[in-house]
Amino acid sequence: MHIQIDNFSMYYEMMGSGIPVLLIHGYPLNHAMWAAQISALAEHARIIAPDLRGHGDSQPAAAPMGDPKTYSMDLHAGDCASLLDALGITEPVVVAGLSMGGYIAFSFLRRYPQRVAGLILAATRPGSDTPEAKTNRQQAIEAARQSGIEAVVEAMLPKMLAPITYENRPQIVEKVAAIIRKTSLEAVVGDQRGMMERPDSTPLLPEIHVPALLIHGADDQIIKPDEMENMQAAIPTSWLHILQDAGHLVNLEQPEKFNGAVRNFLAKLA
Ligand code: MLT
């Protein structure tokens, strides 16, 4: 379904009833990365899974304030809040984000603390970019500008999955490649610039008082397990699940275990 949000038409999927769970996808992806969660978790909650601006079936649109080419984490978080407003969802929601979706979840929590009933943070980190990470993002922007989305597929795909998945599960590899190919160049550039500028959310962690479920793949090549362990230690109300045979896209590589952890978490919240 599409809905007009500020200056663009946003695509989202919504299914089920009960406590609202907002699923925020990572970079350079869209709601389809949550396909194995949307229908399975809709038996327990009202699942809302948007495509962020410029991703999947959501239109690319310049940021209306600040640098128009930068999709800041605050901009994406504001779009998610506008979506909830447009859907008439005023009660607190569970905010779930994977990787960049997690960076956006931190921004959502900072901006709208009263709208958050719980957090699910998958394969993400609270810290901001190192100088080296910023340089890598600048190079990724240049490569995408020169060679288009295939440069992004080539650079990201092998890192996003566990080596065991990449080598043995071609259907997953193809599915992720197809998802990446639906990302606009505006979003590739905008997200990279937004992530480059994101603030350090580490000081926020001890202030988190809502229940927080942390899920990580043991073979994640982008976020190391100790980053998630340190985050778990810093959030007083959190639990960490590390899933074997899963990389960065832990929800897609181990959907049953991932969904099981989320179901238990939602039962605790209820
Ligand atoms: C993601 O999966 O969202 C990105 O890899 C996060 C990042 O580039 O920091």
pLDDT digits (tens, 9 = 90+) for 214-236: 999 999 999 999 999 999 999 99
In 3-state terms the chain splits into helix, strand, coil percentages (rounded to 5) of 50, 15, 35
pLDDT digits (tens, 9 = 90+) for 86-107: 999 999 999 999 999 999 999 9
pLDDT exceeds 90 at position 6: no
Expressed in angstroms and rounded, the spacing between residue 102 Cα and the centre of ligand 1 is 9
Q: Which residues partner with 15 through β-bridges?
A: 47
Residue 270 reports pLDDT greater than 90 = no
Contact 23, 45 (CB under 8 A): no
The tens digit of pLDDT for each residue in 33-44 reads 999 999 999 999
User: By alpha-carbon position, which residue is closest to atom 5 of ligand 1?
Assistant: 27
pLDDT (average), residues 121-138: 98
Q: How far is the CA of 228 from the centre of ligand 1 (A)?
A: 14
Chain segment 159-177, per-residue pLDDT in tens: 999 999 999 999 999 999 9
Distance CA 241, CA 17 (A): 26
> Cα dihedral sign for 212, 224, 69, 153?
negative
Candidates 126, 125, 117; CA nearest to 210 is 117
Query: Using a 6 Å CB cutoff, which residues line ligand 1?
Result: 26-27, 99-100, 195, 222, 248
pLDDT for 65 beyond 90: no
Distant-in-sequence, close-in-space partners of 113: CB < 8 Å, separation ≥ 6: none
8-15, strands of its sheet edge to edge: 2-5, 8-15, 46-50, 20-24, 93-98, 116-122, 212-217, 238-243
CA of 26 to the centre of ligand 1 (A): 6
Distance between Cα 88 and ligand 1 center (Å) = 30
Beta strands in the chain (DSSP E): 2-5, 8-15, 20-24, 46-50, 93-98, 116-122, 212-217, 238-243
What is the rounded CA–CA span in Å between residue 246 and residue 23?
Answer: 19
Kindly state the average pLDDT of the residues 53-66: 95
| pLDDT at res. 58 | 98
Q: What are the tokens at 89?
A: 């969802």
Query: What are φ and ψ of residue 93, in 5° steps?
Result: -120, 160
Closest ligand 1 atom to 124 CA? 6
Lowest mean pLDDT among 12-16, 64-68, 258-262: 64-68
- Structure tokens, 63: 């940021």
